[in-house]
Structure 1
Amino acid sequence: MRLPVPDEILPADRLGRVHFVGVGGAGLSAIARIMAARGLSVSGSDDADTPFLPALREAGVRLFHGYAAEHVAGLGPDDTLVVTTAAREDNPEVLAARARGVRLYPRSAGLASVMAGRRVVAVAGTHGKTTTTSMLTCALLACGADPTYAVGGLLGATGRNADAGAGPLFVAEADESDGAFLHYRPDVAIVTNVGADHLDQWGSVEAYRAAFVDFVDTMPAGSEGGLLVVGTDDEGGAALADHAEASGREVVRVGLGEGCDLLAADVLLEGSTSTFTVHQATPEGVVELGRVRLAVPGRHYVLDALAALGAGLRLGHPFGDLVAGLESFTGTGRRMERKGEAAGVGVYDSYAHQPAEIAGDLEAARSLAGEGRVLVAFQPHLVSRTRLFGAQMGAALGAADEVVVLDVYVAREDPDPAVTGALVADAVPLPDGAVAFVAGLDDAASELVRRARPGDLVLTLGAGDVTTLGPRLLDLLED
């Protein structure tokens, strides 16, 4: 369900009682937790049990399992319903709220309402948003800034995806998939990269990239001083930096290449760590700031950390304190998350579902595996994404030793019999027998058990229910 964003978004303290339809999702649960921490009357419903619900119960949010009109009984025109885009048009709570004249907000309006009155730092990009938001949060916490934060995954340092801090900063992951990030009007923006995704929403690569230009244009310019920190190793990010600078925003370019204001050099990926040296461009020349050792492996995590560092420095925090926070970062749920080990086989899970994300996580997996092999179970996500990028996904999976591909996880779209996981499996450049296309999760688990041997690392990849495969696999390996 896609609700219009109202012309005027009220601050959270004027929303009355707030009920969340789909409260178990990463986005809505974060908003609900912050509102509850600020003393608002908050309730919510969901038809699934998710990892975000325990923190809501701790915060005193009244939760309902399933959707029913009686869950919104007593709500009136001075109250608010915040609705997930995954809600069906016939959702009984939405229908009942409409009949009573209850204010209806989409997720983006709900997040904008809790941002009111804070200095907003919004983290956007085709990939890396969750990790960069999490890293910046850890860095700011280490500096004593006590920010409010809303992240699209469970932050390892706190075990939660949101907290209402006492400081003036609000750090938020800004999702471009449905245009939500166009409603936040940040003071500071981080754009990790600008590639191509969610073309079911935007229609073309050009329109997708133009949305990031529109996002930058929502920031203050000139003397009001909007700041953009942007990864410029990719063409889209470099073009966005040029636009922001030409339109009167301060720009910090970060990356591994030349022309960056903040540069990572001498990158070393070793086991579960990533180490790099930070160089900063100054009017007097390039200055070495110091060495950083992350507790997560992968070149893409180096870039995420560099973006967080660039924002933290421009916000006035000391390099040493920021680095201490970055080095304390232990990961975010579903981002190279270790699920366990059985029969000498390590199992990890990651949300990666785009070609660049797959390539980055496989590089990290190779570092973790050492002398062992890397086996991957990949579940394509969305029919439209698989149609457009299936061959590129397959090419990226070629960095593994063996690959099991599941069928497309269908969400928000109708199935297309011409678009299946076979499009990905057929494009994996590995020898015969090293790639299998299977029907479902049970078949994938059996196939992985058949292929795995002690010393291997198994990585489950995708944005759908493939995340449930790791525990199944561990149980089978134990047996």
Structure 2
Amino acid sequence: MAPAVPTAMERPHFIGIGGAGMSGIAKILARRGARVAGSDAKESPVAGALRELGATVHIGHAAGHLAPDASCVVVSSAIRADNPELVRAAELAVPVVHRSDALASLMDGTRAIAVAGTHGKTTTTSMLAVALDTLELDPSYAIGGDLAGPGSNAHHGDGEIFVAEADESDRSFQKYAPEVAIVLNVELDHHANYASMDEIHESFEIFAGRIVPGGTLVIAADQAGAVELTARLRGRPGLNIVTYGESEGADIRIERVTPHGLTSEVTVVLDGTPLTFTVSVPGRHYAHNAVAALAAGIALGIPAAGLATALGSYTGVGRRLQPKGEAAGVQVIDSYAHHPTEMAADLEAMRPAAADGRLLVVFQPHLFSRTQELGDEMGRALALADASVVLDIYPAREDPVPGVTSELIIDAARAAGAEVAAAPDRTAVAETVAGMARPGDLVLTMGAGDVTDLGPLILDRLAH
């Protein structure tokens, strides 16, 4: 049985309760019996799902939404200091708790697996959640994306395992104390918070240092940043390190990945013995994610063969190469990729699926700071598509930066030989893409913002 609700979390108020990370914590607390309340900028299916669990969800932000008897106010790093509910919390002397501290309190008393890395966290956490559930271990989990319908990003289970996505973007993953941690890769991103790779490595070192004594770090053997982190951590007392990947010296070596349409077959070598299993999503990077999940489960004592089979039950998570439909012979798939490494990996994974036609991309850059630092690399990644349209930058939590626009990406893409066009008028994108697409083509809507909303519009325009 999972631990009871911490006293400080008995009557929490979430500012931005509909967000991917916040809503999951709110759901688990509601399931555990807390009196959950909160607010969000707009109505959403997630808000509706939380109300069904008994939560009070206000739309819009106002000081009056905060109940005077709230035990705490939960915020993420995206909440600004002038938010009226946060200001009201200070007036009422209601404690303010960061999202990561709230999640850490839910993980106390469990066998926790924390999944970290610049890319692949949501997928790997989801793979573990689905596989452990398939094995009837009833894990608790908190994921940065929906497994199925709204509100499926978290679960309060009666089992002893808690699987959590650990976010490095604001260093909040340093709050967790897992029994097993996964580091999928280490790259420079989140430029508003990290100035260099050395800062990134220091942050991941602190995260790894939080693993409980005798616990295990599962880490990639093929990615340069992860290899550097492993070198920094070798020899630390009380830390077991298990490497995985295609490198010859990996503790769990990936012998081969064989693609089969939108699935793949993976063979790993465990203690000299080969083990082959199916990964039901396309792409070599997803196969690596599955092996990381396998290694983490083994570290908790779960038999490898059964876990490998159960990992085949995972068929995807919202926004991670998620099929949106087909119309007029054109497939539309949605991708959350917003970093050049992710973009290139998803485009390479989708190329076989577009074998009978062209791979077309609708890309929405995410954050001015990321575009400023990585715009050239984003443009080069788009050269892997046959043609692309690029939307204006999705600002999320950031204010505009003078001179930083989507043109940085477009210019780099054209310099790399790509066919790319700007799409400043978002309302015309569906018409534009439908006019470009031909039977056999695959359209990939790509980015971490609201570009995902364009998939159904493109399908509707293709159908008519």
1:237 partnered with 2:229: no
Please, which of 39, 43, 49 is the counterpart of residue 37 of structure 2? 43
Instruction: Name whichever of 238-247 and 427-436 sits farther off.
Output: 427-436
Is the 1:244–1:250 Cα contact (8 Å) retained in structure 2? no
Is the 2:264–2:281 Cα contact (8 Å) retained in structure 1? yes
**DSSP 3-state at the match of 1:445:** helix
1:395 partnered with 2:380: yes
Letter in 2 for 1:316: G
Paired with 2:95 and 2:427, the residues of 1 have a C-alpha distance of 43
In structure 2, the residue matched to 1:18 is 12
**DSSP 3-state at the match of 1:348:** strand
In structure 2, the residue matched to 1:227 is 216
Letter in 1 for 2:209: D
For 1:199-278, list aligned pairs within 5 A: 199-220=191-212, 224-248=213-237, 249-278=239-268
In structure 2, the residue matched to 1:70 is 64
**DSSP 3-state at the match of 2:193:** helix
**DSSP 3-state at the match of 1:41:** coil
1:315 partnered with 2:300: yes
Report Cα offsets for 1:411-445 as digits up to 9, x if no partner: 22221241111111112258878211221322332
Q: CA RMSD in A?
A: 1.9
Give, in angstroms, the shift of residue 14 of structure 1.
3.7
In structure 2, the residue matched to 1:151 is 143
1:140 partnered with 2:161: no
For 1:106-121, list aligned pairs within 5 A: 106-121=98-113
Letter in 2 for 1:72: L
For 1:64-463, list aligned pairs within 5 A: 64-75=58-69, 79-156=71-148, 160-220=152-212, 224-248=213-237, 249-280=239-270, 282=271, 286-288=272-274, 290-428=275-413, 434-463=419-448
In structure 2, the residue matched to 1:57 is 51
User: TM-score scaled by structure 2?
Assistant: 0.95
> Percent of counterpart pairs with the same letter?
48
Give, in angstroms, the shift of residue 158 of structure 1.
9.7
**DSSP 3-state at the match of 1:414:** coil
Give, in angstroms, the shift of residue 300 of structure 1.
0.7
Paired with 1:51 and 1:370, the residues of 2 have a C-alpha distance of 35
Is the 2:383–2:419 Cα contact (8 Å) retained in structure 1? no
Letter in 1 for 2:66: V
Is the 1:139–1:321 Cα contact (8 Å) retained in structure 2? no
For residues 264 and 175 of structure 1, do their structure 2 counterparts lie closer, same or farther at Cα, with a shift above 3 Å needed? same
Instruction: Name whichever of 22-31 and 198-207 sits farther off.
Output: 198-207
**DSSP 3-state at the match of 2:51:** helix
Give, in angstroms, the shift of residue 157 of structure 1.
9.2
Instruction: Name whichever of 99-108 and 314-323 sits farther off.
Output: 314-323
Report Cα offsets for 1:283-319 as digits up to 9, x if no partner: xxx221x211111101110010000000111211122
Instruction: Name whichever of 423-432 and 294-303 sits farther off.
Output: 423-432
Paired with 1:374 and 1:65, the residues of 2 have a C-alpha distance of 39
Paired with 2:261 and 2:10, the residues of 1 have a C-alpha distance of 50
Give, in angstroms, the shift of residue 72 of structure 1.
1.5
Paired with 1:51 and 1:360, the residues of 2 have a C-alpha distance of 30
Paired with 2:399 and 2:53, the residues of 1 have a C-alpha distance of 37
Is the 2:361–2:388 Cα contact (8 Å) retained in structure 1? yes
For residues 16 and 159 of structure 1, do their structure 2 counterparts lie closer, same or farther at Cα, with a shift above 3 Å needed? closer
In structure 1, the residue matched to 2:24 is 30
Give, in angstroms, the shift of residue 69 of structure 1.
2.2
Give, in angstroms, the shift of residue 191 of structure 1.
0.5
Paired with 1:51 and 1:319, the residues of 2 have a C-alpha distance of 37
Instruction: Name whichever of 57-66 and 149-158 sits farther off.
Output: 149-158
Report Cα offsets for 1:99-148 as digits up to 9, x if no partner: 11111111111111211221221000000000000001112112222111
Paired with 1:209 and 1:83, the residues of 2 have a C-alpha distance of 26
Paired with 1:435 and 1:243, the residues of 2 have a C-alpha distance of 42
In structure 2, the residue matched to 1:4 is none
Aligned length: 460
Paired with 1:433 and 1:445, the residues of 2 have a C-alpha distance of 21
Give, in angstroms, the shift of residue 244 of structure 1.
2.8
Residue ranges of structure 1 left out of the alignment (5+ in a row): 1-9
Paired with 1:66 and 1:157, the residues of 2 have a C-alpha distance of 23
Paired with 2:449 and 2:101, the residues of 1 have a C-alpha distance of 25
Paired with 2:10 and 2:126, the residues of 1 have a C-alpha distance of 30
For residues 158 and 440 of structure 1, do their structure 2 counterparts lie closer, same or farther at Cα, with a shift above 3 Å needed? closer
Letter in 2 for 1:202: Y
Is the 1:121–1:172 Cα contact (8 Å) retained in structure 2? yes
Is the 2:383–2:417 Cα contact (8 Å) retained in structure 1? no
